[in-house]
Chain A
Amino acid sequence: MMTEPIPGPDATASGSLALDVRGLSVAYASARGAVSAVDDVSFAVASAEVVGLVGESGCGKSTVAASILGLLPHRAQMRGSIRFDGEELVGADAERMRHLRGNRIATIVQDPTSSLDPTFSIGEQIAETVRAHATVSRATAKQRALDVLAEVGIPDPRSRYDDPPHRLSGGMRQRVVIAAALVNDPTLIIADEPTTALDVTIQAQILALLLRLRDERGTAIVLITHDLGVVATVCDRVVTMYAGQVAEQAPVLALFAHPSHPYTTALLDSMPSAGQRPGGLQVIAGTVPDLAGALPGCRFAARCAHRGPRCEARPPLATVGEGHDVACWLVAGGVGL
């Protein structure tokens, strides 16, 4: 068994890397010391690949997204490297990030209402996104907006173009947000809980839409979610995060068939399954550790049924299968000393 961390997907085998995050750490100063929100996170996303970033509240998945988008608060201290299509984003100036956002890196958030301006028509907002990043005529921008609205399944876009967002249902608004994300043909989409607020039948439509766009345009997608059902349905690879660190990453089939980090296993076992068993659902005792101050060992150790003396040191990322890495002493030689 190898214990050396290996890089993410092979860039030559699976097309070019749209995103390559290496050793990303984000800390905030606080009265109780530095809060380590994200610690040494590495993963990569190839073009036309959907990578799920999964974990519970406070695991750092949204902080990773904000880091990629250059939207961290000023007081955040960021270290490591985020290469987007070969370009380093850590340390890039605000002007450059503004140029990339909404253009080559697009974002879709949970609540479509918050990313649409209630006073402008849905069509104008999308056309404005075109004109913010390219010198084109109003007529061209409008035509592109109409094309992309049709592409995401808005019926009769010409008649809906002048509608304000509130005239549309939640599912239709999310389609408009996706249209706005797509209109400049981004290389990468960061989708943060994009279907969490939607009904089940509408969620399925939106997930199918994201997959179709990935297939047709080769867009790379980082899907941030707490929903393991959504992960299993659409992701190619999965990164499980716990308390700011990567616990496990694997191709989706391997993660569900052979979860190897005790946290991933517990998370899968705590999902409601058909019927009740005598012992009930597995629960994870305890709470997420306070991320302020020094956290030298495995951050999951206090809640882990398998912990041993070795867990007081940080576990290395060990490889257990192709593209399947696990940060746990259990797979890196045992938890005993």
Chain B
Amino acid sequence: MNDVLIEVRGLTKQFRVPGRGRRRLHAVADVDLDVRSGEILGVVGESGSGKTTLGRCLLGLTAPTSGTISIGGQYFQPSDPVLRRAVQPVFQDSFGSLDPRWTVRRSVREALDAQGIGAPGERDARVTELLEQVGLGAELGESRPSALSGGQRQRVGIAAALAPRPKLLVADEPVSALDVSVQAQILNLFAALRRNQGVTIVFITHDLSVIEHLADRVAVMYVGRIIEVGPTDAVFAAPAHPYTQALLAAAPHPDPTRRLPPKLLTGEIPSPIDPPSGCAFHPRCPIAIDRCTTQRPALLQIGPSRLAACHLLTAVEHLPVPVTT
């Protein structure tokens, strides 16, 4: 198994809710997570699951309320420029923040200049190399953002993110705004970057089909907590947590012989401001028992490389054991 690159321990982020009282929004609650070197870890969840806040904490853009993040064994301090360069973002519209008057080359060059990466004389060659890595030809380097398609703009965003040779890319919904044929190009690019350069990627999305295609492992979040983690193929083949089961059943498949499941999850996603007691999923859970309403289930090992937080799953103490869920 690959070395652990990122270790997240007890990560919690609360936001103060404006208005009277001391109400807090529990965006991320007590998250433990390992990201292995060279893997693509998918983080999936619906609104209010905390997946975006978790990504922002990894990027040093949001300071956690408590808990720690370490990279390669060193505690992550957002103020440390070396560590900060090691984690780079790819957003839904990465290129939106770049100057519309600048050419693609100049924008990517700026990413190098601003962070003082490499000797100034070598930066032009590095820009050429970066554009090549993301599949943008030299002629597109002279284009301005307005002349680029959505897919090309996202490639420029990825080139800028790769500029400081990061150890980790945190990609938050990087293909959600793209048409499916363009989305395919960007997914292929992420797969190639990992394969050819060993870049580790945390890929945050609501889109289960993208996770299933791209991610080696998947972490499922619900109302601020990770409720299941495991190898993508194993989790998709046999989801353990009742929420993961319901989520996968509700996802539309491009297969007209599979229509909507007869039993859909009812109810709404709870607000992270006043999350339900016990297991946050208990009000919607078809198999909840009394204990689920009062006691929060811990994230425990339920099989080889698989963790889930559910009272109705049996934790295993010794490996290997068959997965019996």
Contact = CB atoms under 8 A, between A and B. Distances in A.
Interface of A: 56-57, 169-172, 199-205, 207-208, 211, 226-235, 252-253, 255-256, 266-268, 270-276, 280-284, 287
A274 B233 contact: yes
A171 B191 CA distance: 34
B252 A56 contact: no
B184 A57 contact: no
A56 to B, nearest CB: 4
B253 A233 contact: yes
Given A201-B46, A202-B269, A276-B213, A56 B260 contact: no
Interface string B170-187: 000000000111111101
A229 B254 contact: yes
Contact of A171 (B207, B247, B268): B268
Contacts of A272: 183-184, 187, 207, 209-210, 212-214
Interface string B289-315: 000000000000000000000000000
Contact of B254 (A56, A199, A228, A287): A228
Given A201-B264, A270-B180, A287 B149 contact: yes
Nearest to B207: A272
Given A230-B252, A276-B214, A271 B180 contact: yes
B192 interface: yes
B260 to A, nearest CB: 5
Given A199-B46, A200-B206, A287-B149, A275 B256 contact: no
Contact of B192 (A172, A267, A280, A287): A280
B249 to A, nearest CB: 8
Contact of A56 (B180, B191, B192, B246): B180
B264 to A, nearest CB: 5
A204 B268 contact: no
20 contacts: A56-B180, A199-B269, A200-B247, A202-B268, A203-B252, A204-B252, A208-B264, A228-B180, A228-B254, A229-B252, A230-B252, A232-B258, A233-B253, A267-B181, A270-B181, A273-B212, A276-B191, A280-B191, A280-B192, A283-B188
B277 interface: no
Chain B, interface size category, equals 35 or more
A169 B268 contact: yes
Given A232-B255, A274-B213, A276-B191, A203 B184 contact: no
A280 B188 contact: yes
Interface of B: 46-47, 149, 179-185, 187-188, 191-192, 206-210, 212-214, 233, 236, 246-247, 249-261, 264-266, 268-269
A256 B256 CA distance: 7
Given A199-B269, A207-B252, 15 more contacts: A169-B268, A199-B46, A203-B252, A204-B250, A205-B265, A205-B266, A232-B252, A233-B258, A252-B256, A267-B181, A270-B181, A272-B209, A273-B209, A280-B187, A281-B185
A contact face: mostly helix, strand, loop, or mixed: helix
B184 A211 contact: no
A213 B58 CA distance: 45
B75 to A, nearest CB: 34
Nearest to A282: B184
A169 to B, nearest CB: 5
Contact of B179 (A57, A207, A255): A57
B208 A200 contact: yes
Contacts of A200: 46, 206, 208, 247, 250-251
Contacts of B250: 200-201, 203-204
A229 B258 CA distance: 10
Contacts of A253: 256-257
Between A203, A229, A275, the greatest number of chain B beta carbons within 10 A of the residue's beta carbon is seen for A229
